[in-house]
Structure 1
Amino acid sequence: MEDSVLLKVNGREFGGWKRVSVTAGLDRQARDFELDITFRWPDRAAIRDMIRPGDSCQILLGRDLVLTGYVDATPIRYDAGQISVGVSGRSATADLVDCAAINEPGQWNARRVEDIVTDLAAPYGVHVCTEVNTGPIVETYQIDQGETVFESVDRLIGMRALLSTDDANGRLVLTGTGRMRAITPLILGQNILSADAPLNWKDRYSLYLVKGQGIGDDSSVHAALSVRAEAHDAAVRRRRVLFRKQSGDADRSSARLEARWEAASRAGQSVKTRYTVQGWRQADGSLWVPNAVVMVEDPVIGLSGEMLIGEVTYSLGDTGCLCHLTVAPTGAWELKPETTQKRGDGPSALTRPGETLLNF
Structure 2
Amino acid sequence: MTDQIKVELYLNGKIFSGWKTINVQRSLESMSGRFDLGVAVRPTDDMSGLAAGSALVLKIGGQPIITGYLDERKQSIDGANKTILINGRDKTCDLVDCAIIHNSYQFKNQTAKQIAEAICKPFGINVVWSVNTPEANERIPVWQVEPGETAFDNLSKIARHKGVLVTSDVNGNLVFTEPSTKHVGELTLGVNLLELEQTDSWHQRFTDLRVGNERGWWGDSYNTDDYQMGSKLWTLSRSKQLPEILDDAQRYAEQALKWMIADGVVRSYQVVASNPKHSVLLLEISVVLPDGSTEQRTFNASWSV
> Which interval holds the TM-score relative to the shorter structure?
0.5 to 0.7
1:80-137, Cα deviation, whole Å (9 max, x unpaired): 2211112210000001001101211121111110100010111111111111133311
Q: How far, CA to CA, are the matches of 2:84 and 2:170 in structure 1?
A: 24
1:70 aligns with 2:76: no
1:246 aligns with 2:248: no
**1:141 Cα deviation after fit:** 0.5
Q: How far, CA to CA, are the matches of 1:181 and 1:249 in structure 2?
A: 37
1:205 aligns with 2:206: yes
Q: How far, CA to CA, are the matches of 1:169 and 1:35 in structure 2?
A: 19
**1:197 Cα deviation after fit:** 2.8
AA aligned opposite 1:246:
Y
Instruction: Give 2:143's aligned residue.
Output: 141
**1:167 Cα deviation after fit:** 0.5
**1:177 Cα deviation after fit:** 2.7
The RMSD of aligned alpha carbons is 3.0
Instruction: Give 2:35's aligned residue.
Output: 33
Structure 2: 5+ residue runs without aligned partners? 216-228, 233-247, 258-285, 287-305
Whether contact under 8 Å (2:109, 2:139) holds in the other structure is yes
Q: Would the alpha carbon gap of residues 4 and 198 (structure 1) be closer, same or farther in structure 2, given more than 3 Å must change?
A: same
Whether contact under 8 Å (1:34, 1:87) holds in the other structure is yes
Q: Would the alpha carbon gap of residues 52 and 227 (structure 1) be closer, same or farther in structure 2, given more than 3 Å must change?
A: closer
Whether contact under 8 Å (1:7, 1:57) holds in the other structure is yes
Q: How far, CA to CA, are the matches of 2:187 and 2:40 in structure 1?
A: 36
Whether contact under 8 Å (2:231, 2:253) holds in the other structure is no
The equivalent position to 1:16 in structure 2, one of 5, 15, 18, is 18
Say which SS state the counterpart of residue 109 (structure 1) adopts.
Answer: strand
AA aligned opposite 2:22:
V
Whether contact under 8 Å (2:43, 2:77) holds in the other structure is no
Higher fraction of strand? 1
Q: How far, CA to CA, are the matches of 1:143 and 1:80 in structure 2?
A: 54
Instruction: Give 1:99's aligned residue.
Output: 98
AA aligned opposite 2:43:
W
Instruction: Give 2:53's aligned residue.
Output: 54
Whether contact under 8 Å (1:2, 1:61) holds in the other structure is no
Q: How far, CA to CA, are the matches of 1:190 and 1:50 in structure 2?
A: 35
AA aligned opposite 1:120:
I
Whether contact under 8 Å (1:212, 1:246) holds in the other structure is no
Q: How far, CA to CA, are the matches of 1:86 and 1:181 in structure 2?
A: 37
**1:51 Cα deviation after fit:** 1.6
Instruction: Give 1:237's aligned residue.
Output: none
Say which SS state the counterpart of residue 23 (structure 2) adopts.
Answer: strand
Instruction: Give 2:197's aligned residue.
Output: 196
**1:193 Cα deviation after fit:** 4.1
1:181-205, Cα deviation, whole Å (9 max, x unpaired): 3422445x88754322343332343
Whether contact under 8 Å (2:21, 2:37) holds in the other structure is yes
1:212-265, Cα deviation, whole Å (9 max, x unpaired): 79xxxxxxxxxxx9999xxxxxxxxxxxxxx988222369xxxxxxxxxxxxxx
**1:171 Cα deviation after fit:** 0.7
Q: Would the alpha carbon gap of residues 76 and 131 (structure 1) be closer, same or farther in structure 2, given more than 3 Å must change?
A: same
Say which SS state the counterpart of residue 120 (structure 1) adopts.
Answer: helix
Instruction: Give 1:168's aligned residue.
Output: 170
**1:179 Cα deviation after fit:** 6.4
Greater relative contact order (CA < 8 Å, ≥ 6 in sequence): 1
Whether contact under 8 Å (1:212, 1:226) holds in the other structure is yes
AA aligned opposite 1:108:
F
Q: How far, CA to CA, are the matches of 1:161 and 1:14 in structure 2?
A: 41
After TM superposition, the structure 1 stretch with the greater mean CA deviation from structure 2, 177-186 or 19-28, is 177-186
| Residues 1-360 of structure 1 aligned to structure 2 (within 5 Å) | 3-42=5-44, 45-47=45-47, 49-133=48-132, 134-178=136-180, 180-186=182-188, 193-208=194-209, 246-249=252-255
AA aligned opposite 2:252:
Q
% identical equivalent positions = 26
Q: Would the alpha carbon gap of residues 192 and 166 (structure 1) be closer, same or farther in structure 2, given more than 3 Å must change?
A: closer
Aligned residues between the structures = 223
Say which SS state the counterpart of residue 68 (structure 1) adopts.
Answer: strand
Structure 1: 5+ residue runs without aligned partners? 214-224, 229-242, 252-339, 341-360
